[in-house]
Chains A and B, each alone.
Chain A
Amino acid sequence: MNPLIKFATVMVIALELTFIKSVTLNIIIIGVSAFLYLFLKLNWRQWLWLFILPLLPGLGSWFSLMYFGTGDHEHMAWVMLSRVFAYLWLGGLFTLKLNDERDIFLATLEQKAKLSATFVYALVGVLNFMPAVSQEMKTIRVASQMRGQTLHIWQPQLYFKAILAAIRWSQNLAEGMVSHGFTEGATRTHLQVVTIKRRDWFLLVIILIAFQLLLLPNWY
C-alpha cells in the first residue's frame, strides 16, 4: 500500500478514535493492527516497544479517572487505557515501516499530494540532520559547562543557543540547496514517478467504510 494512503487511513481513524468512547472498538483496532503486524515481521524490540510504551500514559489516565472521575468514569478509565494502545498500535502500522518507505512517502507528498517542494525538501533536509541536532544539543550544553555555566531547561540561554544553531544551519542548508539548483516554485523532474495503484484507493475506501459500519452498534 502506498505509504501516504496508509497515512491518510491511519490519521482518519485516529481522529475518530479521539471522539469515540468505546473499549470494544479500541480493542478491535488493536486486534486488527496486531494481525497486520504478523505480516510485517517485527523484531522483538519493536514488539516490546508496542507493549511497554503505552503502558505509562495509559495507566496514568486509568488511575486518575478511577480516583477522580465523575459519571461513567470507570468506563472512561478503560476507554483511555485501551485508546492509548490503539493510537500507538494503529500509528505503528505507519511509523514502524517508515524507515523503508520514507522516500516513497516523501515522493508521494511531492508528486501526488502536490505539496510544495520547499516543504518536502525542508522535511528531508531536517530529517537527515537529526543525528547532528542531537549532537549539537549535547555540544551546546558542554561548551557552556566549559565556561563554568550549566544551561538548564528553564533558562532562555539554552533556547537562544539552539535557535542560533537553527538560524545558522537553515542558512547553510538553504545555500547548499540553491547551489544544487533548487529553485522555489519551479518544476522538477522525477527519477521515480510515483503512481498510486487503484487497489490502494479501493482499500482506503473499504477500510474507512468498514470502520464507519463498526461504529453503528452501541459497543461498550
Chain B
Amino acid sequence: MTDLVVDHVNFAYRETPVLTDISLKLRPNSFNLLVGPSGSGKSTLLKLLSGLYPTFSDGSLTGKLTLDDYDIHDIVPYQRVAHIGYLFQNPTRQFVMRTPFEELRFSLENLQVKPEDIEKRITDAMESVGMTAYMHHDLLHLSGGEKQKVALATVLAADSEYLLLDEPFANVDPIARLQLIDVIKAYQNQGKTILITDHDWSGYTDAIDDIFVMDSGHLHNALTDEREQILAKLPNQPAIHTSLPDEKEGIITLDSVTLNSGARTLLSATTRLLPEEKRILITGPNGVGKSTLLSALVKLYPYGGTITYHKENIAKRKIAKHVQDIALVFQNAEQQFVAMTVQEELTQAQTLSHFPEFWSDDAITRVLTQLNLHGLRDHIVYQLSGGQQKKLQVLLMLIIGTQTLLFDEPLAGLDSISQQHLLDIIADLTTRQHQTVIMISHQLHAVTDWFDYHLQFDNQELNYVGDAL
C-alpha cells in the first residue's frame, strides 16, 4: 500500500484562499465520506489529491501533498492513475473516445497494461458495472446514469488503490445510484480505499468508516457525536406543493412531440399544454431529456410532432424572431454574454429591454445590490466566479424581459442564501413583467412552494403531478 499524505495544505485561487491548512489521513482499506456545503472546497481537495490540480487550474499550492514521498502532481499520469483513480462529477467531462470499449482501451493502453490483458480487464470492469451490452454504443447517446457507470468502469479497470469520487451520483437516477453503490462497496472489499463527496449517503451509511467535514476551506475529522449527527441527518426529498393545471389553453402546446438521442427515445409522443404566466417546474433523472426538451422549445434540437407558441407552429417561426419571445437561460452562463464588463452587459440589456421604463439605472442598482454584484460593475464577466456569472446572466435575461423564460438549472452551484435571493428576484420580476417561467431544477429544497405546476419527466413521459388543491 502506498502512503498518501496530506499535510498542512493551502490552496488559493487568484489570491482567494480555497483550502486552508488541510491535513488528512485515510486509513488503509477504509470508506471515507467528505461532506460540506457546496463551494466549501470539497471538489478542489479531490482534484488536488488526483494530481489534476494545480496543473489544470491557476491556483497556487503550498504544503505537503505526497504519495510515497513524491509530490502527487509531479508523478507521471500513467503511474499516478495506477495508484489514484478519480471520477468526475459530470461524466461527460471525462470521455475522450467514442464508445465505452474505446474509452477503456485508451486508458489501459496509457497505463501500459500488457496487450493480452487489456481485453479481459475491459470485460471485467464493464461486467462489474453491468454495462457489457453497451460496449460499442456511442457514448454521446447514453443516459447520465449509463455514462457514469462507464466512467466508473474506466476507473475500476485501472485498479488503483485509492478511489476518489466527486458527487458521483449527482447526475444519476435512483436505480443506477444503488447499482453504483454496490460496485463501489465491492471494490473497497478488494482492499481499496475510497473517498467520496456527497450530500446524500442513504444506501451506504453502514459502509462509512470515517467522515470528514469541510467548512469554508477548513477540514476536520468528525468525531463520535458529530458523526452520529451527520449520519442521522439524511436529506429527505422535500415535498413540492403544486396543483394540476386546469387551463384549456397554453402559451406553449406540445402535440405528439417526440425526442430522440441517436437511437434512444427520450420522449415518446406526448401532448401537453403549458399555461401562460405560470411558474412550471420540470424534474426528472439526469440525461432523461429535460435540457433537450428546452432546447427543442427554442429550436436548437430536432423533434417530432408539433410545438406551438401562441398557437403558431414554431417550426414556421424564424429563429431570430422566435427567441425574442421565448428565451433559454443556458446552463453555461458564459454562452450568454455579449459584452466584456458587467456594466457593458447591463447597458446592453437595458437598451434592449421590453420594459425600458421599469429598468432605470436605480432599479438595476437595487437588484445588483440584492444579488451582491454591486461592486463588480467594472469587472470582466469572464473573470467572475461561476456563481456571480450565473446571477448576472439571470439578471440580464430578466432585464430583457422575454415573454417566456426557460431556466436550465439556474440554482446549481449556488449556496443556499444565493439560491433564495435569486428565486425571490425571479419571482418578483417575472410577476411584474407577466412572464411565463419554465425551470429545470434539482435544488428542490429551495423551491418547495415556489411553483404553480410541476412536470415530471421520466420513462419517456412528461406528466403533470401535484398535491395541492
Say if the two chains contact directly (CB < 8 Å). Answer: yes
**Contact between B96 and A121 (Cβ–Cβ < 8 Å)?**
yes
Determine whether the beta carbon of A176 is less than 8 Å from that of B323. no
A139 near B330 with CB under 8 A, answer yes
- The count of chain B contact residues (Cβ–Cβ below 8 Å) is 57
Q: Are A189 and B112 in contact (CB under 8 A)?
A: yes
Contacts of A46 in B (CB 8 A): none
A41 to B352, CA, bound (A): 56
List, in ascending order, chain A residues with CB within 8 A of B384's CB.
none
Question: Is B400 touching A164 in the complex (CB atoms < 8 A)?
Answer: no
Of residues 325 to 340 in B, which have CB atoms within 8 Å of A's CB atoms? 327-328, 330, 334-336, 338
Q: How far is the CA of A164 from the CA of B340 in the complex (A)?
A: 13
Interface string of B21-34 (1 = CB under 8 A from A): 00000000000000
Which A residues are CB-close (under 8 A) to B382? 164
B251 within 8 A of A: no
Closest-by-CB residue of B relative to A132 is: B140
- CB < 8 Å A-B pair total: 138
Does B171 sit at the interface, judged by CB under 8 A?
Answer: no
Question: Is A181 part of the binding interface, using a Cβ–Cβ cutoff of 8 Å?
Answer: yes
Query: Which of A77-85, A141-149, A195-203 lies at the interface with chain B?
Result: A141-149
Is B78 a contact partner of A176 (Cβ separation < 8 A)? no
A1 within 8 A of B: no
Bound state CA distance, A124 and B109, in angstroms? Answer: 15
B114 at the interface (CB under 8 A from A): yes
Docked-complex contact A186 and B76, CB < 8 angstroms? yes
Minimal beta-carbon separation of B409 from chain A (angstroms)? 16
Give the nearest-CB partner of B158 in chain A: A181
Q: Are A150 and B338 in contact (CB under 8 A)?
A: no
Query: Which positions 64-102 of chain B face chain A at CB distance < 8 Å?
Result: 76-78, 80-82, 86, 88, 93-98
Residues of chain B contacted by A157 (CB below 8 angstroms): 338
A180-B106, A186-B76, A186-B78 are contacts. A146–B336 as well, Cβ < 8 Å?
A: yes
Say yes or no: is A131 at the interface (Cβ < 8 Å to chain B). yes
Q: CB < 8 Å: which of B119, B154, B349 contacts A147?
A: B349
Q: Contact: A181 with B111, CB < 8 Å?
A: yes
Contact A180 B352 (CB under 8 A): no
A179-B88, A183-B78, A191-B119 as given contacts; A146 in contact with B327, CB under 8 Å: yes
* Whole-angstrom CA separation of A80 from B300 in the bound complex: 41
Q: Does A212 sit within 8 A of B, measured CB to CB?
A: no
In the bound complex, residues from chain B placing their C-beta under 8 Å from that of A187 are: 112
Closest to B396 in A: A147
Contact of A176 among B95, B300, B330, B396 (CB under 8 A): B95
Chain B residue numbers with a CB within 8 Å of A173 are 96
Q: Does the CB pair A145–B115 fall under 8 Å?
A: no
B319 adjacent to chain A (CB < 8 Å)? yes
Instruction: Indicate if the CB atoms of A148 and B78 lie closer than 8 Å.
Output: no
Q: A138-B300, A148-B348 are in contact. List 13 more A-B contacts (CB 8 A).
A: A128-B98, A139-B330, A145-B324, A147-B336, A148-B352, A157-B338, A174-B56, A175-B94, A176-B95, A177-B96, A179-B77, A179-B81, A181-B80
Which A-B residue pairs are the 4 nearest by beta carbons? A181-B110, A181-B81, A148-B352, A146-B327
Q: Which residues of chain B have a CB within 8 Å of any CB of chain A?
A: 50, 52, 55-56, 76-78, 80-82, 86, 88, 93-98, 103, 105-115, 118-119, 140, 154, 158, 298-300, 319-320, 323-324, 327-328, 330, 334-336, 338, 348-349, 352, 382, 396-397, 400, 402
| Residues of A bordering B, CB below 8 Å | 121, 124-125, 128, 131-132, 135, 138-140, 142-150, 157, 161, 164, 168, 171-183, 186-193
